[in-house]
Chain A
């Protein structure tokens, strides 16, 4: 890699970046005074309004591989990339808000693994808590490495300097400000990311002659007409994504996305910090609206880069698809908006890493340390444990980042490896929530066997024993098989084992208690525009309508 991507940052661009760092740290320090109990530290005292938790929810997902990766997918697969948003995210987010959140928020669990402890048993809980905790610290490291890589490429900072600075800032604002520090910064990050991406999109569209100019140019590119359609050509796998519509609907739209969005504590945590049930249910649904529109500033720049950057799509070097957005920044942005765009990218990496770290410290403290090691300590003790866990998580993250720096493929593997855990988890949750007879032991064996099947499919594919058209197809099939395994094992084991009593399950499963808990609604929550069901239905309808022009 030469100096091909170095940006001409001037002093004012650096001032913009520096102001951002100072603000982020200031938010962490200012959030400190609102922390007295462990729930204040890990769940913002369950006090935040829905728009804050909703934007944090979407921001926590706007991490490293999201923006860079979706622009890369836009350049490589064309419009089909919108499936990751409109069918692969929005329905699952709405489902989380409408159907699952009453169980999560209503039972007052403090984490997603904790739901498993109450619904099933401690082994199920420990299995999930450990796999989640390990995944979060490793993925935090991957995010950190991606941040450092981009800083090196764009600004010429040595890798280790970028890793240490990025890690240090996240460490400070989460250790001091807790989840409030993380969430408030995520809201800020959301707006900075958008402010950075919009000028790239606008100038790119001007350059290619507007939307119609872009469409003409895509037809003449190597993607051709297929690059402009989301569903046409999905009757077979002969399309840019190499995916059949069945795979898109059931694999991506159902098993993969529901697995990610509904059981990933790094996301769900944002909703648990909302101030009441209504706000908690609206959190993922409010997040669905920006999610609907984000492809405008990721997929479209990807297509613009495909057209305007000659030779994009190289196997290695500066012209890999992943550099679509950095290349556009270099070619289009003058100083000023350039500083904003760099800050936006840095913000996105920090948002991703902070979500992992804040998810980790909560699960480590409540689900591992408190549940299995030191049970009867004071509430303040667990705040201290949380702070120490944050420091340890960031240090391990730095270690992972340096390992990833040595083996660049390792980060792809880590991501793919842990996505393997989501589908069986979702299967266990959804069956456990809606089938109250499902026994505790069935929960454990379902989760374990589903995970083994998903992991086995992945490893056999990697080793070349089984063959799929693409990585994506592998993940559809792996997730689908895992889901079926969970269901089959649950159906076999449940009749053979003892059920849990109704008194142990009230509030945790569908049909026991109407989940109308203590009414915690605030004045104004009854307004139609605060109805989770209505907002959710509108989001899904919009997602369907958005497909029409790009069918």
Chain B
């Protein structure tokens, strides 16, 4: 494989094995198609927040006693719901800019 001269501006050590895979990545990487994990985290935590929060609304006194008198399900549910929504909001406000193909980001 041909060396990419720009990759070694300062004459760094070359290695054929490293070069081959880097060439393949620069030519054909599909990493730009990776989805945004914030959507998954946000979604799962919204669902968890709703499940646990609703359970908290209907907790029996025995369950509240077990949790030292704290309505832990309600609070934990709310906290997870808010966290999940914040993740989704963050993703909405600052969507990932897809990484440009690497051959294009030379200056």
Contact = CB atoms under 8 A, between A and B. Distances in A.
A382 B21 CA distance: 10
B104 interface: no
Contacts of B66: 331-334
A546 interface: no
A203 B30 contact: no
Contacts of A514: 10
B76 A506 contact: no
Contact of A44 (B6, B18, B34, B69): B34
Interface in B28-58: 28-35, 37, 40-41, 44-45, 47-48, 51-52, 55-56
Interface string B3-28: 00011111111010110111011001
Contacts of A30: 35
Given A39-B22, A334-B63, A340-B76, 15 more contacts: A15-B51, A19-B48, A36-B28, A37-B28, A38-B24, A45-B31, A47-B34, A184-B40, A195-B83, A332-B68, A503-B13, A505-B13, A508-B13, A518-B6, A520-B105
B88 interface: no
A342 interface: no
- Chain B: interface size category: 35 or more
B31 A44 contact: yes
A513 B29 contact: no
Contact of B13 (A40, A118, A199, A520): A118
A31 B36 CA distance: 10
Interface stretch (A106-114, A404-412, A458-466): A106-114
A195 B76 contact: yes
Contacts of A19: 44, 47-48
A114 B30 contact: no
B9 A33 contact: no
Nearest to B45: A191
A110 B18 contact: yes
Secondary structure call for the B interface: helix
Given A31-B34, A275-B99, A519-B107, A504 B17 contact: no
Interface string B55-91: 1100100011011111011001100100100000000
Nearest to A371: B17
A20 B43 CA distance: 11
A199 B72 contact: yes
A284 interface: no
21 contacts: A19-B48, A30-B35, A34-B32, A36-B30, A39-B29, A109-B18, A118-B13, A187-B41, A199-B76, A332-B68, A334-B67, A334-B73, A336-B52, A336-B77, A337-B52, A340-B80, A371-B17, A506-B10, A507-B13, A517-B12, A518-B6
Given A30-B35, A337-B52, A337-B72, A37 B64 contact: no
Contacts of A207: 68
Contacts of A45: 25, 29-31, 34
A477 interface: no
B33 A34 contact: yes
Contacts of A517: 9-10, 12
Contact of A107 (B12, B25, B45): B12
Interface string A243-277: 00000000000000000000000000000000100
Interface in A186-212: 187-188, 191-192, 195, 198-199, 202-203, 206-207
A109 B48 CA distance: 40
A108 B52 contact: no
A52 B37 contact: yes
Contacts of A46: 25, 31
A195 B53 CA distance: 13
B9 A518 contact: yes
A536 B46 CA distance: 33
Q: How large is the interface on A (under 10, 10 to 19, 20 to 34, 35 or more residues)?
A: 35 or more
Contact of A35 (B30, B72, B96): B30
Given A203-B68, A206-B68, A188 B37 contact: yes
B76 to A, nearest CB: 5
A10 to B, nearest CB: 9
Interface of A: 12, 15-16, 19-20, 23, 26-27, 30-31, 33-40, 44-49, 52, 106-110, 114, 117-118, 180, 184, 187-188, 191-192, 195, 198-199, 202-203, 206-207, 275, 331-337, 339-340, 366, 370-371, 375, 379, 382, 503-508, 513-514, 516-520
A333 B41 contact: no
Q: Which 4 A-B pairs have the closest CB atoms?
A: A45-B31, A507-B12, A47-B31, A334-B63
A503 B34 contact: no
Contacts of B56: 336
A195 B10 contact: no
Given A202-B72, A379-B21, A334 B64 contact: yes
B85 to A, nearest CB: 14
A38 B24 CA distance: 8
Contacts of A336: 51-52, 55-56, 59, 72-73, 76-77
A30 B46 CA distance: 20
A403 B92 CA distance: 48
A335 B15 CA distance: 56
A125 B88 CA distance: 44
Contacts of B32: 34, 47
B51 A203 contact: no
B11 A506 contact: yes
Nearest to A200: B72
A486 B18 CA distance: 28
B73 to A, nearest CB: 4
A516 B10 CA distance: 8
A191 B87 CA distance: 11
Contacts of A331: 66
Contacts of B105: 520
A108 B15 CA distance: 10
Nearest to A519: B107
Nearest to A518: B9
Nearest to A44: B31
B103 to A, nearest CB: 12
